[in-house]
Amino acid sequence: QVQLVESGGGVVQMGGSLKLSCAASGFTLSSYAMHWVRQAPGKGLEWVAFIRFDGGYKYYTDSVKGRFAISRDNSKNTLFLQMNSLRPEDTAVYYCAKDRADDYGDLIDYWGQGTLVTVSS
Amino acid sequence: QSVLTQPPSASGTPGQRVTISCSGSSSNIGSNYVYWYQQLPGTAPKLLIYRNNQRPSGVPDRFSGSKSGTSASLAISGLRSEDEADYYCATWDDSLSSVVFGGGTKLTVL
């Protein structure tokens, strides 16, 4: 069965950096696009980033462009999110999520359990 | 302010049918697939409906989705207490080159 396990969350000061990882199992990571989605405490879901199956295309929500970078290592079945210049408004649970397809057009069919990132001011 | 508009709340009694709407525009719902997710309290979201009206295996047929023009809706029939959750619609937006979510609808089973 599909499993997505996030790690790397924690407390960081404003302006700091964190790198999230997502270990994928139960499917062939190299065949699917992947996403990061976040949820601030008590708020709704906010999409953060997308990466095509081969890493060839990446898209980001405007508020993280230039600060966050999504990447993948298909040989290690792992998805990453490098987060720099963190702001208090980046505080959220970050979910790793699998797409139904290899490219743009479809959306998420499986979600990880999430990892909490807290940015202190 | 979300790109997709959902009512913040909905409610019904056990056995009733409830509908949750999701309104967008030609650049998102009007030209892309709509997905629906259910988020039970304290848990990760779960896929309910994909490609406008398709149910993944394991999702009861009490849940159904539809799309017309720039709007979509999720219907839940035979409402049960375990359906109490937050529901989100989502799709791609071609103008923004991003995925967009609705603000979420909190469903209460009275």
The predicted pLDDT at position B22 comes to: 98
Q: Which residues of A touch B50 (CB under 8 A)?
A: 100, 106-107, 109
Cβ within 8 Å of B, A 63-92: none
Arithmetic mean of pLDDT, B25-45: 97
The predicted pLDDT at position A35 comes to: 98
Residue B1 has pLDDT above 90, yes or no: no
B92 contacts A104 by C-beta, under 8 angstroms: yes
Arithmetic mean of pLDDT, B78-94: 97
The predicted pLDDT at position B86 comes to: 98
Test A105 with B98 for CB contact under 8 angstroms.
no
Measured CA to CA, the distance from residue B68 to residue A81 in angstroms comes to: 36
CB atoms inside a 10 Å sphere around CB A102? 14
- pLDDT tens by residue, B49-77: 999 999 999 999 999 999 999 999 999 99
Please report, in tens digits, the pLDDT of each residue of chain A (121 residues total): 999 999 999 999 999 999 999 999 999 999 999 999 999 999 999 999 999 999 999 999 999 999 999 999 999 999 999 999 999 999 999 999 999 998 888 999 999 999 999 999 9
The predicted pLDDT at position A104 comes to: 86
Query: B106 vs chain A: nearest CA distance in angstroms?
Result: 10
- With a pLDDT cut of 90, the percent of chain B lying above it is 98
CA nearest neighbour of A36 among A25, A26, A21: A21
Measured CA to CA, the distance from residue B67 to residue B33 in angstroms comes to: 9
CB atoms inside a 10 Å sphere around CB A82? 14
